[in-house]
Amino acid sequence: MSTQLSILVVDDELLIRDLLYDFFVEQGWRITIAENGQQALNALAGQNYDLVLTDLKMPEMDGMELIRTLRQRHPGIPVMIMTGFPSVDSAVEALREKVADYIVKPFNINQLYKIASSVAKGAETASKVQ
Amino acid sequence: MSESQLRILIADSDLPVARSVAEFLEASMGCSVTLAGVAASPNGDDHHRVEDFAIVFVDQAIEVASGYAFLTGLGNRSTTSVIISTSIPSIEEVIQAFRHGAVDVLFKPYDFRDLEAAVQRAAREHRQRCLRNELLDHKEALADLLGWRESDVETGLARCGYGRMEETVVSR
Contact (Cβ atoms closer than 8 angstroms) between residue B59 and residue B13: yes
Residues in CB range of B153: below 8 A, 6 or more apart: B135, B136, B139, B142, B143, B146
Q: Is B92 on the interface with A (CB under 8 A)?
A: no
Q: What does the pLDDT read at residue B161?
A: 58
Residue B88's CB is within 10 A of a number of other CB atoms, namely 9
Averaged pLDDT, B38-52: 60
In this complex, which of A87, A124, A129 lies closest to B76 when CB atoms are compared? A129
Tell whether the torsion through CA atoms of A114, A120, A122 and A125 is positive or negative: negative
Residue B113's CB is within 10 A of a number of other CB atoms, namely 8
Q: What does the pLDDT read at residue A36?
A: 94
Contact (Cβ atoms closer than 8 angstroms) between residue A33 and residue A17: yes
Residues of B in contact with A87 (CB under 8 A): 91
pLDDT at B2 exceeding the cut of 60: no
Q: Is A14 on the interface with B (CB under 8 A)?
A: no
Tell whether the torsion through CA atoms of B135, B34, B123 and A87 is positive or negative: negative
Beta strands in chain B (DSSP E): 7-11, 32-35, 55-59, 81-86, 104-107
A121 Cα distance to chain centroid: 13
Beta strands in chain A (DSSP E): 6-10, 30-34, 51-55, 79-83, 101-104
B24: left (phi over 0), alpha (psi -120 to 50) or beta: alpha
Beta-carbon pairs below 8 A across chains A and B? 88
Contact (Cβ atoms closer than 8 angstroms) between residue B41 and residue B67: no
**Residue from B77, B81, B95 whose CB has the most chain A CBs within 10 Å, to mutate:** B95
Residuewise pLDDT in 10s, chain A (130 residues): 457 899 999 999 999 999 999 999 999 999 999 999 999 999 999 888 999 999 999 998 899 999 999 988 888 889 999 999 999 999 999 988 889 999 999 999 999 999 999 888 864 444 333 3
Residue B142's CB is within 10 A of a number of other CB atoms, namely 18
Q: What does the pLDDT read at residue B158?
A: 67
Q: Is A117 on the interface with B (CB under 8 A)?
A: no
Q: Is B155 on the interface with A (CB under 8 A)?
A: yes
Residues in CB range of B115: below 8 A, 6 or more apart: B21, B24, B25, B106
Distance from C-alpha of A116 to C-alpha of A78, rounded to nearest angstrom: 10
Q: What does the pLDDT read at residue B1?
A: 45
Q: Please give the helix or strand (H or E) that residue B136 lies within, else none.
A: helix B112-137
No. of helices (H) and no. of strands (E), chain A: 6, 5
Residues of A in contact with B128 (CB under 8 A): none
Residues of B in contact with A108 (CB under 8 A): none
Q: Is B94 on the interface with A (CB under 8 A)?
A: yes
Shortest CA distance from A51: residue in chain B: B159
Task: Note the pLDDT tens digit of each residue in B47-59.
Answer: 568 888 999 999 9
Distance from C-alpha of A61 to C-alpha of A65, rounded to nearest angstrom: 6
